[in-house]
Chains A and B, each alone.
Chain A
Amino acid sequence: MSRIPPIRRALAGAAAAALVLAAAACGGGDSGATAQATPDALNPSADLTKQTLTVSNWDAYMPEDLPTTFEKAVGSKVTVTKHATNEEIMAKLTAGGDSGIDVAFVSGPFAQALAEQGLVEPIHADLIPNLANLYPEATNLAYDPGNKFSVPYTWGTTGLCYRSDLTGYEPDSWNDLLSPKPELAKKITMLQTDRWLMLPAQKSLGYSANTTDPAELAKVKEKLTAAKQSLLAFDDTTFYSRLVSGEAALVEAWDGWCNYGITDNDKIKFTVPKEGSDLWVDTMVVLKTSKNKEAAHAFINYILDPKIHSWAVQNILYKVPNKAAMESIDPALIKQYPNLATTPADLLKGETLVDLGEGATDYSRIVTEVAAS
């Protein structure tokens, strides 16, 4: 079982989103990014054995033997390249000219940014019959309603991951993390990347996770500075093993990563605080420059096959927006990792992080201020 915690979440998602307004707000440079590409005419009966694909994805984020099984099933050869962060793949895709990549895996907001710049091919739904496997909720995501230019691959949220035997009670609020009971002091970690470091304070104060209002941000900073006193560490990568060792009792965690802790200790539980949280989605896009668009669509269709798509659930313990795939999961696995059973409706209650444009600078400043306090 591949358990390389996708570092992408930490660095990449951080980046999070890029909403339409951000394109206008980002000032100078590339604000002219508007025109979405018009769809190419694709040939549904193209000879796929004559097409070859280059797919860029995070390491260990899909089955390793996928190129082999895909070629056997569909006939196209696949080369997989890897990227570590959204920024890395964005740099390749926006550098101009043909990147040579046909299909790329990027987080939702980045897919949106690519679409705004006309760099991705609109999805030809008729070439992807397996789209029918997606939950209805998964076709109505804020960064791309109707999946016009991206297809969701995995999704999830952020919450509290805790050792019920060490906390002695069931935390249900971000305040359990930010102003913990005295006996939990120094047994708490929070995520370190800007957006998720800010999230608990933002939500506990009833603000948007995308707020750029200076008065609200001042309150958030105040709350975080106070919370730091009872913190063991800011930690993006080893928080779940700290729970396992008992070094920490309650940590802020991404749902899938909390599952890695549960693997080693079944006293570990995950909950989404009552004040709400975020929703993140990783997606697949077809590049406008691709000369193998029919095969690219066939590739996405192949991923959406419940047998293939369920791999991500079974192996990296992430949720996938594929109804048929989720229903095929062994109930024993869901019993072991209850957050896999989070319903799409509940997931969609989470706020989608959007790109903050210049606001990102304010966020990183607050994070520095909290660290330096």
Chain B
Amino acid sequence: MKRSLERLTLLGPGLGYLTVLMVVPLALVLSYTIFQRGRFGGLVYEPTTENFLRAVDPLYLDVLVTSVEIAGVTTVLALLLGFPTAYVIARLPGKWKTIALVGLVLPFWTNFLIRTYAWIVLLSPAGMINDALTGWGLIDEPLQLLYTKPAIVAGLLYAYLPLMVLPLFAALEKQDDQLLEAAANLGARPAKAFLTVTLPLTLPAVITGCVFVFVPSIGNFVVPELLGGGQTAMVGNLIRDQFLKARDWPFGATLALILVAMLMLLLMLQAWSARRLTGDKNA
């Protein structure tokens, strides 16, 4: 009895905060999906299934596929760049490790919007990269870097790479060096040891990192707007526009719900695979 009271006091504030600020808005979004749009935004409380019928239209599915593509490419690149980074940081001597970690999260101290605008300065036809390339005589005409899909990927990758590195770092740092020694003693070359020991042990962290990068990437609407020049529709933009421009809250809510459902599925998959991979010991 005393034990459960203790748990409740410890759990209560955090759980209450999450319930009120996450579950309630989600419930609201859910309830919006079955009503009709009001003339000036808002809702007309007459039930309809039309929002869901519209959402499965090929047009919106296309947008969803584009979003999955962009977020997917971002995630793969983040993994390819993030794993070596995390691997090296985890093996740095104490002081340098701290410096590297601080460096990794340092960009978060600056507003995300400002950092994204900085990319415009870098990528624009009159920007630093094009200036340098033309200056060195490598190209004659400025390249169209900005307002392309690769520009969106570059911006997302920049924003979310630390979210890949941090869980990988945590897993790699925890790893017991004796395991690698044992592998070496049994005749495994470093590459083999990496593939058969290190990689399987960090797989849960790889999945966590991928989810951490994929989830915010697919919902992001600032980067497609600023670096994509509004020419690539991602699902985040679509949802934002339904609320702020088209004054169609119910349809915006429906699209949001579909996105949330997709991500929930992804998180469940992650939890399930993490449990399997760690042999159900601490998941």
Minimum Cβ distance to chain B for residue A231 (Å): 7
A124 beta carbon closer than 8 Å to chain B: no
B246 touches which of A245, A361, A372 (Cβ 8 Å):
A361
Partner of A233, one of B37, B231, B244, B245: B231
In A334-373, the 8 Å CB interface with B consists of 355, 357, 360-361, 363-365, 367-369, 371-372
Q: A192's contact among B39, B59, B230, by CB below 8 Å, is which?
A: B230
Residue-wise, chain B 140-161 has the 8 Å CB interface mask toward A (1 for contact) of 0000100100000000000000
Residues in chain A near residue B42, CB distance under 8 A: 91
Chain B contact residue count (CB 8 A cutoff): 34
Q: Which of A85, A94, A186, A372 sits near B63, CB closer than 8 Å?
A: A372
Chain A 187-222: CB-based contact to B (< 8 A → 1; otherwise 0): 000001110000000000000000000000000000
Best-buried of A85, A365, A368 by chain B (most CB within 10 Å)? A368
Main secondary structure of the interface of A (DSSP, over half): helix
- Nearest chain A CB to B110 CB, angstrom units: 20
Report yes or no: B125 in contact with A371, Cβ–Cβ below 8 A: no
Indicate if the CB atoms of B245 and A371 lie closer than 8 Å. Answer: no
Q: Are B247 and A371 in contact (CB under 8 A)?
A: no
From B46, B147, B245, A193 is in contact (CB under 8 Å) with B245
CB pair B230–A235 under 8 Å, yes or no, is: yes
Set B39, B126, B233, B244: member contacting A371, Cβ < 8 A: B233
Please indicate the chain A residues that have their CB under 8 angstroms from the CB of B247 in the complex. 15, 87, 360
**Chain A residues positioned under 8 Å from B233 (CB to CB):** 368, 371-372
Inter-chain contact A233/B230, CB cutoff 8 Å: yes
B273 sits at the interface (CB 8 A): no
C-alpha gap A22/B233 in the complex (Å): 29
* A247, B66: Cα distance in complex, Å: 27
Chain B residue with minimal CB distance to A361? B248
- Closest-by-CB residue of B relative to A94 is B40
Q: Are A91 and B40 in contact (CB under 8 A)?
A: yes
For A369, the chain B residues whose CB sits under 8 A away are 59
Complex alpha-carbon distance, A372 and B241, angstroms: 14
B residues less than 8 Å from A192 (CB atoms)? 230
Indicate whether B198 reaches chain A with its CB closer than 8 angstroms: no
B72 on interface, CB distance cutoff 8 Å: no
Whole-angstrom CA separation of A364 from B251 in the bound complex: 11
Q: Is the CB of B40 within 8 A of A364?
A: no
Question: Is A288 part of the contact surface with B, judged by Cβ < 8 Å?
Answer: no
Give complex CA distance A367, B88 in Å: 47
Counting chain B CB atoms within 10 Å of each CB, the highest count among A355, A357, A371 belongs to A371
- Is the beta-carbon distance between A14 and B40 smaller than 8 angstroms? no
Which of chain A's residues have a CB closer than 8 A to the CB of B63?
Answer: 368, 372
Name the interface residues of B248-277: CB closer than 8 Å to any CB of A.
Answer: 248, 251
* Binary contact readout B50-62 vs A (1 if CB under 8 angstroms, 0 otherwise): 0000000001101
Stretch of A26-34, A67-75, A170-178, A290-298 at the chain-chain interface: A26-34
Does B41 touch A at the CB level, under 8 Å?
Answer: yes
Q: How far is the CA of A245 from the CA of B42 in the complex (A)?
A: 40
Known contacts A91-B41, A372-B63; A11 and B242 CB within 8 A of each other? no
B59 touches A368 (CB 8 A): yes
Contacts of A30 in B (CB 8 A): 38-39, 44
Whether A194 contacts B39 by the Cβ 8 Å rule is: no
Task: Please give the distance in Å from A201's CB to the nearest CB on chain B.
Answer: 16
- CB-contact partner of B245 in A27, A186, A364, under 8 A: A364
Across the interface, do B59 and A87 meet the contact criterion of CB distance under 8 Å? no
Complex Cα distance A319/B111, Å? 36
A-B contact pairs, 10 of them (CB 8 A): A15-B247, A28-B36, A29-B46, A30-B44, A90-B41, A113-B39, A192-B230, A235-B229, A364-B248, A367-B241
Additional A-B contact list (6), CB under 8 Å, known A91-B40, A234-B229: A29-B36, A85-B244, A113-B39, A234-B231, A360-B247, A364-B241
